Amino acid sequence: MVKITLVEPGGKQIIVDAKEGGSLMQAAVAAGVTGIVAECGGSMMCATCHVYVNEDDLEKLPKKSEGEDEMLDSTASIRKENSRLSCQIKIGPELEGLKVYLPESQY
Amino acid sequence: MKIIEGHHEIDVPDGVPVWDVDPYDVNILQDPSDYYAELRSKGPFVFIPKYSILACGRHKETKEVFSDWERFVSSRGVGLQDFELEEPWRPRSIILEVDPPDHAITRRVLARALSPKATADLKEDFQIEADKLIDELLEKGSFEAVVELAEEFPTTVFPKAVGLKENNSRALVDYGAMVFNALGPDNELRRNAMAMGPTTVPWIVEQCSRKNLKDKGFGATIFAAADAGEINEEQAEKLVRSLLSAGVDTTVTGIGSALWCLASFPEQFKRLKEDPSLMRPAFEEVLRFTSPVHSFCRTANGDTEVSGVKIAEGSKILCVLGAANADETQWSDPNKFDIGRRPTGHLAMGTGIHGCVGQNLARAEVAAVLTSILNKVDKIEFTGEAVWRPNNAIHALDKLPLIFKTA
Ligand code: HEM
Ligand code: FES
């Protein structure tokens, strides 16, 4: 299990135990985090699993695919440099301690 | 090896129960819940001798087979026919019936055309049409909701969203039914569907060309990708065809099933009226509960193993999405329609790289219809019996007599 911190827009921190090999989206949904909607279940079609990755952690993540890059144009909350789709973040040991911020809204 | 329904016969894998059932029996297609439950209870896979296929209906294995595109390919067809052995009835789909790396190219173009942003732009137009239609139906009193609402709405808004210059509602609905029935065995449903070919296929093919599309809409986005050199002209036409294949019958079914759920469970409709923020999760629950696409196949592209079951190269596996969506190990009280549930992970829209590329459009259409109903209607009641229409891949209503009432 890999510990990931999700910060709600109000500042509340939620720490989830994410399974290696799964996605951050799956871990958040399993933990009942409502700030991740994930309507498409991870098919990279809905952009409702949007997160802002803590700037210092960005380099831990592999680069986004062109498909993810395009889909990020459809997020409900403003897209930023550190925007990612949590369904595309694959959990591995290198992500221990990763911190992401949840957007104001997902749709 | 012998060929059966267009694929190789296979041996019964060790430890897999043989179940002498016909998943395409009209009675099962109309009322599948007992079949779903029995399929799950028998084990991770069953062998069905009538078609020499494997079938799975537990969430875990269904998800694994349906999403692992390396081991379980789509390029050999998502119906019973193996495209390595037989040519499909129409030139294959260049998105649904291909694997990576080819898939990634066409998928990106359609994902762009049907992105959440692109479909959000249609919201106002959809709402105007939905309000108009619901007002008419309120005025009318009792109505047949499959034709007068579930078909009427998508066939009004979809051609415009695509940018079709010409509309032919009948051909759009019939072509969808054909495409989905073609995924089954050579049964009466498939033969009847194929008989509609001469009246529908030429019109559909004709609409896919650039000259028949307006310069605004999903079609235009697709042809812009051709202009940019991402795909060629022929691929663009085929992608428009994909929209015309999968974009109407499915949403007709989604809208019909949503109405059926709300009429069947009035306490849930009441709850939704009291808290409209449940609208989107409510539609997800409709999808989970009714599974408009009840089953699609994959083909094992090599010898492999799933949950201890050895699966031979060339095996066709029927992935019963409807059964997986009612798996009691995945959902608590799965046979309960509960709009407060969070059914993320249902397989009604597929999962993984082939997960429905049109889902934003489907959601936008349903949202418009439901918003209008929540604003204008206080009660939805049956005025006769609802009847389900058998189709080899789609679980849809055939008749839905309803009345909308205001308090
Ligand atoms: C309630 C409505 C809908 C349902 C239940 C539904 C269901 C599905 C399912 C289960 C798949 C996965 C197929 C597979 O993995 O083999 C799929 C894929 C697909 N859907 Fe939908 N669909 C719906 C609406 C739409 C609409 C409105 C469109 C087009 C405008 C569409 C176009 C497609 C296409 C092109 C694919 C293939 C995607 C790929 O292979 O990458 N669908 N759909
Ligand atoms: S879950 Fe839909 S894009 Fe990530």
pLDDT tens-digit profile of B53-72? 999 999 999 999 999 999 99
Long-range CB pairs of B313-317 (<8 Å, 24+ gap) are B314/B7, B314/B8, B314/B10, B314/B82, B314/B84, B315/B10, B315/B53, B315/B54, B316/B7, B316/B10, B316/B51, B316/B52, B316/B53, B316/B54, B316/B80, B316/B82, B317/B45, B317/B53, B317/B54, B317/B55, B317/B56, B317/B65, B317/B72
**Tokens coding A74:** 């459809």
Identify from A24, A25, A33, A43 which residue to disrupt to test chain B contact, counting B C-beta atoms within 10 A and taking the largest count: A43
Going by their DSSP bridges, the two strands A2-7 and A99-101 should be labelled as parallel
Q: Is A36 in the pocket of ligand 2 (CB under 6 A)?
A: no
Q: Residue B174 Cα, ligand 1 centroid: separation in angstroms?
A: 17
What are the residue ranges in chain B where pLDDT is below 70?
A: none
Is residue B383 helix, strand or coil? coil
Token couple for B99:
């694997």
Q: Is the beta carbon of A102 within 6 A of some atom in ligand 2?
A: no
- Which has the closest alpha carbon to B315: B35, B97, B46? B46
Instruction: Check if the beta carbon of residue A39 is closer than 8 Å to that of residue B363.
Output: yes
Give the integer Cα–Cα distance in Å for B245 and B95. Answer: 12
To the nearest whole number, what is the mean pLDDT of chain A?
Answer: 96
Determine the pLDDT at residue B395. 98
The correct answer on CATH 3.30.565.10 for the domain covering A2-101 is no
Query: Distance between CA A7 and CA A35 in Å, rounded?
Result: 10
Asked if B371 and B130 count as a contact pair (C-beta separation under 8 A), the reply is yes
- Are A44 and B346 an interchain contact pair (Cβ–Cβ within 8 Å)? no
Interface test with B, best of A33, A74, A75, A78 (most B CBs within 10 A): A74
Cα separation, B163 vs B146, in Å, equals 24
A43 reaches B (C-beta below 8 A): yes
Angle at B224 between CA B222 and CA B230, to 5 degrees: 80
Q: Which residue of A has its CA nearest to B360?
A: A46
Residue-level pLDDT at B1: 78
CATH pick for B3-405 out of 3.30.43.10, 3.30.465.10, 1.10.630.10, 3.10.129.10: 1.10.630.10
Ligand 2 centroid – CA A49 distance (Å)? 5
Which ligand 1 atom is at minimum distance from the Cα of B95?
40
Ligand with the closest atom to the CA of B110: 1
Q: For residue range A66-95, what is the model confidence (pLDDT) as tens digits?
A: 999 999 999 999 999 999 999 999 999 999
| DSSP string over B85-122 | TS--SSSPPSSTT--TTHHHHHHHHHHHHT-HHHHHTT
Q: B74 φ, ψ to 5°?
A: -100, -20
Tell me: the pLDDT tens digits for A28-71? 999 999 999 999 999 999 999 999 999 999 999 999 999 999 99
Among the partner residues A29, A41, A74, nearest to B117 by beta-carbon distance: A74
Spatial distance between the Cα atoms of B212 and A86, rounded to a whole number of angstroms = 39
For residue B237, report the distance from its CA to the centre of ligand 1, in Å: 18
CA atoms within 13 A on the CB side of B28: 18
* Domain ranges (residues) in chain B: 3-405
B247 CB contacts (<8 Å, ≥6 apart)?
Answer: B154, B158, B162, B176, B358, B361
Q: What is the model's pLDDT at position B309?
A: 98
Report the C-alpha gap between B42 and B22 in whole angstroms. 15
Residues A94 and A97: their CA atoms lie apart, in Å, by 9
d(CA A28, CA A23): 9
Is residue B101 reached through a cis peptide bond, with omega within 30 degrees of 0 on the bond before it?
Answer: yes
